[in-house]
Structure 1
Amino acid sequence: MTKYEQIADIIRKRIKEGIYPTDSWLPNQVDLVDEFQVSRVTIKKAMNILTMEGLVYSQRGAGTRVLNNDLLGVDNYSAKDYEGLSVQMKGRDLKSHIIYFNVEFPDELVQKRLMISAHQPVYKIIRLRIVDGNPYVIEHSFMPTNIVLNLTVDVLKKSIYDYIHQELGLGFAGALRNIKADRPDDYDKEFLKCGDCDPILELDQVIYLKDGKIIDYSRSRSRFDQRSYSVLDVIDN
C-alpha cells in the first residue's frame, strides 16, 4: 500500500468515527504534511481518493470539508475513479473468474476505441468479478499487446491496474466514460444471474496514458440493483 493510500485510510477512519464530523473542515494541508511527514503532493493524492469516494470536497482558498454522503449507497462509486475494483473493494473479499483470455486482432469498434490499426493485436479479456462470494460485475476489456506487456492469467486473477502501475511503471492521465442502461446479454444471464427483463448498468470507457496513447477500452456490466455511480461537482469561484 502506498503512503497516500495509508493516509487516506487513516482520515477515512477518522471521518467514520466522527473525529472529523460531517460539515467540518479537515486540518489544512500544512498541518497534515507535518502530522504525516510527507510532501503536499502525497497529501493531495490522499485527498483525491477521499474526494472520489464522496467523503470530502476541496475548494481553493477554503479548505477541505467533510461531506454528508447519506445519499450514497454501499456500492455507489465515483464516476471519476481511475483505480479499478481492487481499490474500490478494499477490505472486502474480491475474486476474479476468467471467462475468456486471448490475443486477437481487433474488430472495427475496438480499432476505433483504441485508435489502432486492424493489424495491431490486442488482449481480449472477459472477467467475472466476485465480491463477498456473490457475482458482481462482468468486465470486457481490450488492451494493446505492445503497451501492456506480458499479461498473464496470474495478473488477471489479481489487479491488472496494479500490474500496469507497479510492474510496467505506467500512469493514467485521464478517461472518457459513458454510463448507460442496457438489456442483459448471454454473459449477464449466465454469470450475473439476470432475468431476461433485468436492466444492466454498463460503464463504457477508454483510459489514456500521459503520452496520449489509449491503454484500455472496457465495458463493465453490473446488475441494476448492485451498483451505481456518482459525480461530485464543485464550482470553484
Structure 2
Amino acid sequence: MYKYEEISNSLKKTFTSGKYQPGDLLPDQEQLAREFSTTRMTIRKAIQALVTEGVVYTKRGAGTFLRKDYKLKERDLEASIDKPFGTTVTYSGRKVTSKVLGLDARLPTEQEQEKLLIGPGEPVYVIRRVRYVDGRVYAFEHTIMPTKIATITEKVLEGSVYQHLREEKHLQIAGSHRKVYAIKATTEDAEALGAEIGDPVLAITQVSYTDEGEPFEYSTSHFPYQNSSITADIVIKP
C-alpha cells in the first residue's frame, strides 16, 4: 500500500469518527503534513482519494470539508471505476471477505495473450471468487493472471490479492484500464450472486498495470444491480 493510501485510510477514520460533523472544515494540508511527517504532495493525493470516494470536498481558498451527505454506515456498495486499489482498500474499515469458487492454471487464449502481452506457452491462473462487504454480496470476479507474477493460493484469494502482490512481491500497481457495461445475468451469475437469470448485471472488465507498464491482470467483475452503483464526482477547474 502506498503511503498516501495509508494516510487516506487514517484520515477517513478520523474524519468520520464523530469528531467532525458533516459540513465541518477539516485541518489544512500543512497541518496534516506535519502530523503525518510527510509532504504536502502526499497529503494532497490522500485528500484527493477521499474526494473521489465522496467523503470530503474542497473549496478553492476555503479548505477541505466533510461532505454534508456523507454517512459511513449507510453508504451503498459502489462498483469502483476510479480506484485501482482493490476491494479491500476501497472499503477500508468495513469487513471484506471472499469465497473462492475456483483456482486453476492453464495456457492462455489468444485474447488473454493480447491483453497480458504474454506468449502462448506462458501459463495463467484462472481465478473465480465472490467478494462480500459487510456480509453482502459485492461482486463475482473472474480473473486471469500470469503465473510468473506471483504464487497464488486459495489462502491468498480469501484475502487481498493486491495486498499480497505489494507486500510479498513488492509489486507497484500503477492503475487499470476499465470498460463499464451492462449484461444479463447468466447461470454462473445466478449461482455466484444470487441473481435471477436475465437480471441486469453491471460488468467491469479491466487490465491492470504495474508502474513499469506491465499488464499483470485481465479480469471481469459482475455486480448485482440491487446493491451496486457508480458515483462520479466531477471537478471543474478554471
Cα deviation for residue 189 of structure 1 reads: 0.8
Aligned mates of 1:63, 1:8 — CA distance in 2: 16
Say if 2:39 is the partner of 1:47: no
Cα deviation for residue 199 of structure 1 reads: 0.7
Say if 2:169 is the partner of 1:168: yes
RMSD: 2.7
Aligned mates of 1:141, 1:158 — CA distance in 2: 15
Aligned match of 2:104: 102
Aligned mates of 1:108, 1:59 — CA distance in 2: 49
Aligned mates of 1:78, 1:137 — CA distance in 2: 11
Cα deviation for residue 161 of structure 1 reads: 0.2
Say if 2:143 is the partner of 1:138: no
Cα deviation for residue 10 of structure 1 reads: 4.5
Cα deviation for residue 88 of structure 1 reads: 2.5
Aligned match of 1:80: 82
Q: Deviations over 1:92-123 (max 9, x none)?
A: 33221111111111112222221222222111
Aligned match of 2:91: 89
Aligned mates of 1:174, 1:93 — CA distance in 2: 24
Aligned mates of 2:99, 2:19 — CA distance in 1: 38
Cα deviation for residue 51 of structure 1 reads: 2.4
Aligned positions of 1:192-231 closer than 5 A? 192-231=193-232
Distance 1:61 1:113, change over 3 A: farther
Q: Which amino acid aligns with 1:180?
A: Y
Distance 1:41 1:231, change over 3 A: same
Aligned mates of 1:171, 1:225 — CA distance in 2: 34
What TM-score results when the alignment is normalised by the length of structure 1? Answer: 0.85
Counterpart secondary structure, 2:194 = coil
Aligned mates of 1:77, 1:54 — CA distance in 2: 13
Q: Which sections of structure 1, spanning at least 5 residues, go unmatched? A: none
Would the aligned equivalents of 2:116 and 2:215 in 1 still touch at CA under 8 Å? yes
Q: Which sections of structure 2, spanning at least 5 residues, go unmatched? A: none
Aligned match of 1:186: 187
Cα deviation for residue 52 of structure 1 reads: 3.0
Q: Which amino acid aligns with 1:27?
A: P
Counterpart secondary structure, 1:86 = helix
Distance 1:70 1:57, change over 3 A: closer
Counterpart secondary structure, 1:230 = coil
* Structure 1 range deviating more: 79-88 or 226-235: 226-235
Q: Which amino acid aligns with 1:185?
A: T
Distance 1:167 1:118, change over 3 A: same
Q: Which amino acid aligns with 1:121?
A: P
Given candidates 104, 111, 125, the residue that maps to 1:123 is: 125
Counterpart secondary structure, 1:225 = helix
Cα deviation for residue 69 of structure 1 reads: 4.5
Aligned match of 2:236: 235
Q: Deviations over 1:139-173 (max 9, x none)?
A: 00111122x22222211111100011111111122
Counterpart secondary structure, 2:108 = coil
